[in-house]
Amino acid sequence: MSASAASPQLFIGLMSGTSLDGVDGVLADFSGPQPRVLAHHAMPFAPALKQELLALNTPSDNELHRAALAANGLVRVYAQTVQALLSDTQTPARDVCAIGAHGQTVRHQPGAFDGTGYTLQLNNPALLAELTGIDVVADFRSRDVAASGQGAPLVPVFHQGIFGQPNQTVGVLNIGGIANLSVLHANGDVLGFDCGPGNALLDHWCQQHTGDAFDNNGAWGASGSVIEPLLQAMLAEPFLHQAPPKSTGRDLFHPTWLTHQLSGDVNANPADVQATLTEFTARACVNDVRRHAAEASELIVCGGGALNGLLMQRLQAGLPSVRVLSSAERGMPPLQVEAAAFAWLARQTVRGLPGNLPKVTGAQGARILGGIFKA
């Protein structure tokens, strides 16, 4: 498929999230009233790179050196994804206005320690610009934290643009490694925040006990039974009860956290733990929808979690008066939404337009969320 539309506004968005399963990239055309995804390409991480990115989420030896090399390795995967998108659409690099690439988050501590805190994404946008010959927009999250925001989620305003409905409140739930909720109020107000863990703990437990990277359609979890005391202990996590704005990541929901939760259930059936983790993920999201989007008519789910049938069932069971549906039913497949959002953020930056709103993260509103690295 050629991208040679009349007066195209072509941008590439790259997303590599907390799940650490690889890169999703899209080539999107913003010349019409709604963005049109011309191509989507998924590029998995090599096992060694995935393991190094995961290891760099916790303190370890020689971190600066290792992080710099991991960033280079990540960017090479980004560049391969870009080249695949260009090849699939027969699009010359010169026709693409910019690439939006936020990098791989390895530490996330907004507001901590000194009142500003930090969020750290491994990336080398200068190298990506050199490898692709396309301008790169990056540093989205650190820009938002500098403006007193949470640095996550960054996409609720994009969600509003593609999923918002006049005179209706709609929830958009992105379930990646971490789950985040956008509340698109009927009056036009937008709220966005992290709910808690998405796929990160589910994938970790599945990998550890089955060797599979993820629980395909939630089938393994569906074979188990929820351990109610364990579920209640997990739901007592203080983060889940904080008021937004709030964000989280592997700094909190990591394997050691899970080990601590399991200290009284060391002999639990692994499938039962998976069932409990699925219910925990769903319940954390459901509770936030009830608190902050009680009047929502529907909950649109995107990210990898939308492909987990058991998780989708548990969301619907917890929200019987809300229609829970995949973003595919609203015109954009689940694995394309967040990548398309970063293409949009790149476009906003290039055009000098806002990429965020104060009500989304509690910041004063960073006018331009990214920094541009010229090719």
DSSP assignment string, 232-262: HHHHT-GGGGSPSS----TTTSSHHHHHHHG
pLDDT at 362 over 90: no
For the chain, the straight-line distance linking the first and the last C-alpha, in angstroms and rounded, comes to: 26
**pLDDT score of 360:** 55
Summarize the confidence of residues 193-216 as an average pLDDT: 96
Residue-averaged pLDDT of the chain: 93
pLDDT at 150 over 50: yes
pLDDT band at 164 (very low <50, low <70, confident <90, very high): very high
Q: pLDDT by residue (tens digit) across 116-146?
A: 999 999 999 999 999 999 999 999 999 889 8
- Amino acid letter, residue 195: C
pLDDT at 109 over 70: yes
**pLDDT score of 4:** 42
DSSP assignment string, 280-342: HHHHHHHHHHHHH-TT-SEEEEESGGGG-HHHHHHHHHH-TTSEEEEGGGGTS-TTTHHHHHH
CA separation for the pair 342, 370 (Å, rounded): 10
Contacts of 12 (CB under 8 A, 6+ apart): 25, 26, 27, 28, 82, 85, 96, 98, 99, 100, 134, 343, 346
**Which tokens sit at 43?**
């590029």
242 vs 147, residue with greater confidence: 242
CA separation for the pair 130, 84 (Å, rounded): 16
pLDDT at 347 over 50: yes
Summarize the confidence of residues 341-357 as an average pLDDT: 87
Q: pLDDT by residue (tens digit) across 350-361?
A: 998 877 655 555
